[in-house]
Structure 1
Amino acid sequence: MVVIDEKIDSVNCKPTNSEYNPYEHRKVLKPSSDIRATANIIKASLGSGLLAGPLAFSNSGWAVGILGTMVVGLICGHCIHILVKTSRGCCKIDKKPQLNYAETCEAAFKHGPKCLRRFSKAASIFAEFSLLSTYVGVCCIYTVLISDSIKQLIDRYISTVDLPVEYYCLMILIPLCLLCQVKYLKWLALFSILANFFLVATYVVCLYYIFGDEIVFTDKKIVGDPARFPAFISTVIFAMEGIGLVMPVENAMKKPQHFLGCPSVLVVAMSAIVFFYSTLGLFGYFRYGDLARGSITLNLPIDDWPAVCAKIFIALSIFFTYPLQFYVVFDIFKRYTDPYLKDNCKNITDIGGRIVGVCLCVAIGIALPLLEQIINLVGACFYSILGLIIPGIVETVFRYNNLGKFKWVLIKNIIIVAFGLTSLISGCTVTVLDIIAILNKRTE
């Protein structure tokens, strides 16, 4: 009974005099401020997904797009909230200063119902695999997006050069390898702030072209084809989710207690993400309609200098975001290799491992340079698992003795997991069919 009482207190996150406080025991080498943590969370979620907003709205129709963006943003923010809250509860029970994503899943099952405790290690491995798959996919998308932007500029201003996008992927390989040698989130936050600046500048330029001429509303769909709704949801989930970086950011904060609450790092970051995505998606769809591409910058005219600046800005923004996303990939690799390495070998292994990891991500991006489809696939499959299904299950398992009046926590999480599974199955089906159709056209 003592353990159960302590667990209920930890879920409510109300420290008592005798309760272990993980914040007092955290020793972070280079802690981040609230501003830097907010910048990292915004940049972790808001990248190429923001620019795919008009394409998402063309799949859903503008009314469904607005409502759907707000609902998905609320669900994604809530899933982040319950994951962090569960992690804090597990820290208090295990008397550990911090836990990462996979460790939180393992601890939740370890302290859950007796029949599920034997699955604690399997939960950890599944979470690690989901993280790795998700962020390798994100790094591939970023590789293709940067290369597409560079190719457009080169094709326009250097007419003698006509190279496929795969060659541009190879050209940015060395700069990405160098940038990914940055080790600490505190330093990566500086790149995130710079990337956010370029992203906001791109957002402003896009609005400049959107409102440059009269917008015609009459031919725009209020409600799109229901068969394309899964593609819309997949794109929005991709844009909203950055859950793989949530635990590293929260664990690296100088004042981690500021991550949750109202106002808090999470509330400010998610509000900014929903605002930017819904406005650009809505007005971008009003301007370009069904011609919207996987990144709105690819719809901008190539002859005007503001459009050229926007293409350069987004390429730089995604470039400076790349090491933040790659941080998750390498963090997993490092946790599994460090115990087997001598101290004098760790630095060389770090450098070599980062180079090999970037090369693998670029190679996958070269093999599948279908930007819109990769975005939908990563959003539908990987982010649905990582950002919706796992948090809903983990909170339910951890709070099995305290599910609230009428078991509202259980009912709420069943809805979240069902939404995640529906997004996963329907989104993957639609995206795979799109990829097959595109490949068939290329072979004809």
Structure 2
Amino acid sequence: MEYKLRAATKTTSLLHTPTKNINSVDTVLHLVATTFFQCGQYKCETNGVPVTALVGSTTPLVEKLAPEDEEMGYNPFEHRKLSHPTSDMDTLIHLLKGSLGSGILAMPLAFYNSGLLFGVLATFVIGFICTYCVHVLVKCAHILCRRTQVPSLGFAEIAEAAFLAGPPAVQRLSGVASATINWFLGIDLLGCCCVYIVFVAKNLKQLYLDQEGGLGTYMVFVVIHTYGEVTDQQNVSGDNSLTESYMAVVDFYTDDHWDLRIYMVLMMPVLIAINMVRNLKYLAPLSMIANLLIATGLAITFYYIFSDMPALETRPNFSTWHQLPLFFGTAIFALEGIGVVMPLENNMKTPTHFVGCPGVLNIGMFVVVTLYTSVGFFGYLKYGDETKGSITLNLPTEEVLAQSVKVMIAVAIFFTYALQFYVPMEIIWKAVNHRFGAHKLTAEYIIRIVLVIATVGIAAAIPNLGPFISLVGAVCLSTLGIMFPAIIELVTFWEDPGLGRFNWVLWKNLAIILFGVLGFVTGTYSSIDEIVREFGTNIE
């Protein structure tokens, strides 16, 4: 059987540019993939062709696939030229670090929206489905690498290669599939940046308004703020900086309970300054610092969670049907890490061990799901109806140790904003840079400033972080992490090797797609409904 493929080096996606122009994007994508798990970047060369780390289809696809006997004889792993391949243990550590972001802090709120028993069962089910979809994606990547005789493929490349090699009816959609993945990843990461701003601002406000110590105690917090911010709010990453010190001084002398949006605006100059850094190597050390701070903050949080634990009977096993979409969106947002999968697998010394049995992926995801479930279960059991968007918001405000968690998480999130910002910035810049001629540098700085202001504006418009996190999770991650792997497998298997007896591959993937659509629709509807109700209200 012969599959017709065309060269994919033009404009079939936002990142489709000639190979010679993709080095900076590879650097960006490799480092962002390691935001929470490595200080530095992976470097992977495949027969002189850089491997796309996360998104974008920049590796040229062959015009025509090899005959079946050649295809079966081609081993893509033997053709990967890795300067620094990672061992199984290294990859496991990276997977854990990449998956254990600050989204874990929102899991108690997810359990508040589900109930204890249902939350445990549903979290493991979602974790299983997410893990299985990663298996599907990696398996399809291996098959398509053999068909196209390319050593490795990125996420968007996998989709494009699958559609190009699929039934004639879907071949013309290859560019759409690749571009959709790039767009959704960009939207997801910009959404994360908005989440980080709300996270920092709300925690900052609570920290200082609750601080009732003397001037000496206050000065300690000002010094801490000078090096990193203190925040408390819901999910994923945060920020911190000298702006926080300024805000702290203002609050101290004015005792004014400002609106949350004012804190966001005051943070903006620092965010703009940090995101003017165009070379990621200067931000690489921040990844290591963020990892250490998150780990320490989580350990302290567990210390408070296990103090004076109430009885199980005090919490419901099931919440309400209306709240379940919020649980789904938050859980998917926290658990889904499909963006880092292909960079990790592409850089392994023994990539077949990634999805083997037990395999690096299975071990890592079991640990991740267990830890997320534990934080959600015990966090909700501890605080019940008082559970807030981030578990750190429930920590005692009168204890310095508890407040230090806010500092740690805020600093980690602040550092993460700049790294996450790079991918959508590079995607957008690659699409528009040809328009600016000799003024490219100035134009790039202006676009960076506009994007930062836009994220602050969105965060100010949606200050209730809970439904916003659910919205991001329901829209982007349910699509990227659940629906797309199933679609890719269907297209890849449609003609060769086929859909199996009774078309079981078809029915299985339709069920997975339906599950993703259910989360997409219900999570989006519920989140938007709550955002509309909360829009314009003052934050206490």
Query: Given residue 113 of structure 1, which amino acid in structure 2 is its aligned partner?
Result: P
Is structure 2 residue 480 aligned with structure 1 residue 386? yes
1:240 to 323, 330, 335: 335
Native 8 Å contact 1:55 1:285 kept in 2: yes
Amino acid at match of 2:112: S
Asked if the contact 2:77–2:351 (Cα under 8 Å) also holds between the matched residues in 1, the reply is: no
Give secondary structure in 2 for the equivalent of 1:224: coil
- Shift of residue 318 of structure 1? 1.9
Q: Aligned partner of 1:431: which letter? A: S
- After superposition, the Cα gap between the structure-2 partners of 1:249 and 1:149, relative to the gap in structure 1 and judged at 3 Å, is farther
Structure 2 equivalent of residue 305 of structure 1: 400
Show the 5 A alignment for 1:140-159: 140-157=194-211, 158-159=251-252
1:51 is matched by which residue type in structure 2?
A: L
Q: Which runs of 5+ in 1 are unaligned?
A: 5-9
Per the alignment, residue 266 of structure 1 pairs with: 361
Distance 2:135 2:284 in 1: 21
Distance of 2:454 and 2:92 partners within structure 1 = 30
- Greater displacement, 101-110 / 251-260: 251-260
Unaligned runs of 5+ in 2: 5-64, 212-250
Partners of 1:31 and 1:143 in 2: how far apart? Answer: 36
Out of 404, 418, 421, the residue aligned to residue 514 of structure 2 is 418
With normalisation by structure 2, the TM-score equals 0.71
1:361 paired with 2:455, answer yes
- Pairing partner for 2:122 from 49, 68, 71: 68
CA contact (8 A) 1:34 1:265 kept: yes
1:435 aligns with 2:531: yes
Aligned residue among 254, 273, 292 for 2:387 = 292
State the Cα distance separating 1:55 from its structure 2 match: 1.0
Higher relative contact order (CA 8 A, sep 6+): 1
Moved more, 406-415 or 215-224: 406-415
Q: Residue type of the partner of 1:77?
A: T
> In 2, are the aligned partners of 1:245 and 1:328 still within 8 Å (CA)?
no
Partner Cα distance (2:94, 2:428) in 1: 21
Distance in 2 separating the partners of 1:104 and 1:245: 14
CA contact (8 A) 1:149 1:312 kept: no
3-state SS of the aligned residue for 1:218? helix
1:191-340 aligned at under 5 Å gives the runs 191-251=286-346, 259-337=354-432
SS in 2 for 1:234: helix
* Structure 1 residue identity aligned to 2:196: Y
| Separation (CA, whole Å) in 2 of partners of 1:87 and 1:349 | 37
Q: Which secondary structure does the structure 2 equivalent of 1:325 belong to?
A: helix
The answer to which of 359-368 and 227-236 deviates more is 359-368
Q: Deviations over 1:270-295 (max 9, x none)?
A: 22321221001000111111221111
- Counterpart of 2:468 (choices 332, 350, 374) is 374
Q: Match of 2:174?
A: 120
Bigger mean CA deviation after superposition, 88-97 or 231-240? 88-97
Q: Following the alignment from structure 2 to structure 1, what is the Cα–Cα distance between the partners of residues 86 and 450? A: 28
- How far the C-alpha of 1:170 sits from its partner, in A, is 3.4
CA contact (8 A) 1:108 1:397 kept: yes
- Contact persistence 2:92–2:364 (CA under 8 A): yes
Using the aligned pairs only, state the percent identity.
37
Q: TM-score normalized by structure 1? A: 0.85
Deviations 1:37-68 (A, max 9, x none): 55554454433421111111111110110111
CA distance in 2, matches of 1:263, 1:187: 37
User: How far off its partner does 1:352 sit?
Assistant: 5.9
Of 61, 68, 81 in structure 1, the residue corresponding to residue 135 of structure 2 is 81
Count, aligned residues: 432
- Kept in 2: contact 1:37–1:189 (CA 8 A): no
1:86-101 superposed matches below 5 A: 86-101=140-155
Q: Secondary structure at the match of 1:222?
A: coil
Please give the root-mean-square deviation of Cα atoms over the aligned residues, in Å: 3.4
1: distance between equivalents of 2:210 and 2:169?
63
Partner of 1:110: 164
Q: Deviations over 1:369-389 (max 9, x none)?
A: 221110111111221111111
**SS in structure 2 of the partner of residue 260 of structure 1:** coil
